[in-house]
Chain A
Amino acid sequence: MLMTVKTPIYLDYAATCPVDPRVVDAMLPYFNQTYGNAASRTHAFGWAAEEAVENAREEIAKTLGADSKEISFTSGATESDNLAIKGVAEYLHEKGKHIITLVTEHKAVLDSCKHLERQGYDVTYLLVGPDGLITAEQVDAAITDQTVLVSVMMANNETGVIQPIAEIGKVCHRRKVLFHTDAVQAFGKIPIDVQEMGIDLMSLSAHKIYGPKGVGALYVRRRKPRVRIAPQIHGGGHERGNRSGTLNVPGIVGFGEAARIAREGMAEESQRIAGLRNRLRDRLREEVPHAILNGSEQHVLPGHLNMSFAYIEGESLLMALKDVALSSGSACTSASLEPSYVLRAMGLDDELAHSSLRITIGRFTTVEEIDYVVDLIKKHVGRLREMSPLWEMVQEGIDLNSIQWTAH
């Protein structure tokens, strides 16, 4: 059975995806045939490029229940997060200087907030529960008369945990505070409706939905309320003044096609991918002792699995799984040598954060690959535990917390 899969196996779809071949086909003419500048109003090359961009805008808007005029293209979701947070803060600086977000946000949001703190803004970082979730009540309680923006990610990149976005949106609208959500991981995987969810601004990325890298978008609500942001990149007033710069036409065409494919196939694809993820989760739980699921089991994206394998360290497990592309919350895999701040915020002790793997499944994952990976993890977790002094102590009945470790 091990012979039927081709290695390396890609199980890091939350990091990025291969571009769907249909997306590549849609993009190609826009490199050297319809290569006009979408801002050129004086000739057919420009008109054709503009039309292609507007079609893509329409496709993306349709996926969100939005109007195409509410979509501004950017270079990616990091830029979208920066633009949403700094753009709202700057535009509303006379109204108030307080922002609410989560401890488990993506760094693009956290670092934008830290930047604003240095400029004299106050930021409240809401704590998450052990399942990674916050409640709308927490948001409600944190809002003050100085609050101008709440930024809560729709689904977490490490755990896939989905926040109660519609409830938070309701609170924000009642309290008349703008609501931004980073929907990079959720977009194209679960249904999103900006009206039902009360979203005012939303960050999106193409490369997480089988589109090209280097393209993203920011949804900016136009009615009830009309949201205004201060642009962060100046030079020509493209994208309704929200974001200047010549549009990446092939990238945007690819983004639109990727959004169309995701929207039309979402129900079926999500079901298939969730089936694979559940198989992976259940087999690991049943066949590997002390395999612990991190994050909510119910409120989670279909393709995400984050698990800790107690008493072994994540990087050494990744090294054993060298034919499989996945990621770990281990400190050793990060430049900072700190274990995952997302898992720690959920109350995991450092040891379990060090022992975590993130496996993310996508469009091209097969059941054979899942079974191959389970067998491989099982084998190497066993091998590494035989090598682990912690495992030995636990087998001898020693409580690891009773030991005085020599910190270094």
Chain B
Amino acid sequence: MAYSDKVIDHYENPRNVGSLDKNDEDVGTGIVGAPACGDVMKLQIKVSDGVITDAKFKTYGCGSAIASSSLVTEWVKGMKVEDAMEIKNSQIAEELSLPPVKIHCSVLAEDAIKAAIADYQKKTGQGGDA
């Protein structure tokens, strides 16, 4: 299978690999996927005054899954939480030129950022009005 240059770049030089303290008040953690399906993404954001100041990920999955999560962490850094909610999997798929069989990787990345935001909002008691 041929990968796009952007997928290879993110896979070989992933941005923002790592973990934030999940017990920190300002940190939201999203874990999506399942080992049996071949991909699990953990995406974390750190929020200050409604702006995402840091993002980290860890991904178990194919190269496209790693690239999708890496790209999303790059995008959300510096973004307002409400803007990050608007990220669509189609934008991720387009940016990485994912083939049809890999679209689910971009869906998972979108789910991961939404799950991280939801976790942050739950912690800080601001339910879903972002």
* Contacts from A to B (Cβ < 8 Å): 311-313, 315-316, 319, 330-333, 335, 337, 339, 349-351, 354, 386-392, 400, 405-408
Contacts and interface: CB of A to CB of B under 8 A. Distances in A.
B15 to A, nearest CB: 12
Interface in B9-33: 11, 14, 17, 19, 31-33
Interface stretch (B35-43, B46-54, B79-87, B122-130): B35-43
B35 A400 contact: yes
Interface residues of B, number: 32
Contact of A388 (B58, B101, B104): B58
A408 B107 contact: yes
Contacts of B42: 389, 392
B66 interface: yes
User: Which secondary structure dominates where chain B touches chain A?
Assistant: mixed
B104 A387 contact: no
19 contacts: A313-B38, A315-B38, A316-B61, A319-B3, A319-B11, A331-B37, A332-B62, A350-B35, A350-B36, A388-B40, A388-B58, A389-B60, A390-B60, A405-B40, A406-B32, A406-B34, A408-B34, A408-B108, A408-B111
Contacts of A351: 35-36, 38
B59 A388 contact: yes
A350 B37 contact: yes
Given A386-B17, A389-B31, A408-B104, A313 B37 contact: no
Given A316-B11, A405-B33, A390 B66 contact: no
Given A313-B60, A406-B32, A354 B17 contact: no
Contact of A313 (B1, B62, B104): B62
A389 B59 contact: yes
A157 B20 CA distance: 44
Contacts of B1: 333
> 10 nearest interchain CB pairs?
A405-B34, A389-B42, A350-B36, A351-B35, A315-B62, A389-B58, A332-B62, A354-B38, A319-B63, A388-B60
